[in-house]
Structure 1
């Protein structure tokens, strides 16, 4: 929620379920995550609807075209098998949306960086607490390593720690689905028992290959979001102290 109705731009918006903020980001970093997994670049920018749609589309079209299997066989040098498993009818539909996700992530980051500079200059007030029937959200300083640790334990938990409830539960449910369809828990169990041949048989590589991109993204996003929220908390506190505790006649030393 925001306090000043006259402000043109705001650095952040607190809702019951998440905190959306404007913060300068490297467009190439955002584009890289969009390249590694369509939709992740948009999640970094707090564009949840576009991000979720692109992620679900990636799951559908990738599975229909067997893109992950094609990547697997290509990396192992079996190019003939890679050609056989991939479905060209669906692959043609994959490329356009994939390239759009990368381009749109880069373009939006550049535009939002400009908006951040203007919003930071305007320095509009931000309500540090939002309370509703479903949840309570408030600005606070949290530890980045705690968010990373919970994310490493299971994707989504680190986001819940920093109150990114929308993306946290989505990533949590999405990872559960990936692990279920890929038979990954069974593969982990056989691996821990030393039955590596059984693990290879039971695991579906088409689904397993999703996990590295997911884990890399959630670790980075949990850490980076915590740092950004901490900076936002400090800026709001500094503004409050300047406006309420500093005497108007105070002479700054030069």
Structure 2
């Protein structure tokens, strides 16, 4: 699985210069546009939940990412309040915030006489296993590996991310949406199971953890939005499938 690019509502040719690399083509006309839009939202969230490169920062600063998120939401039947995916900060500041929240650990000297230290991980874990005290790391990741393998999806091991990383789970949810939209209506059932057993737990954990952190910037907005999106998508899928209608 790889990063999804942030997109905007215009065609690449018509977009302003600052937005041009933040746009993408429309979905095929024969696709389920609601499912395709939900897939776009999951992909957008996965891309946004990274340390920003120049392209992502430009999409944030110009408002292209925010506009695309709202456009995609309008194409779904979900009643979800959109986030504010913009920033006035320069790229270095946003990168520093990302690393402070999600990457850098904290070390405290417990005993200055012998140098004993207490080392902790980052303030907010982006891994599902960090929010599953009832399950081992191995159990969580093996289950995800089986799910990814069943659908023929591979994790890019060069990125050194485990199967339970938030970005990967968001990308996989987006993949299941696109699969439903294009070729496989039954993928909706697989998505409901995946959201219920994995992504809902992770989104709740990350959003709650960020609620307790100061100065989260747009990452706090993004995490809260992901929690709302996943909860709404889960409830909608459950209602439709329980009624016995089309997924």
Query: Which TM-score band (shorter chain)?
Result: 0.3 to 0.5
TM-score of the pair, normalised by structure 1 = 0.32
* More helix per residue: 1
TM-score of the pair, normalised by structure 2 = 0.33
Larger radius of gyration: 1
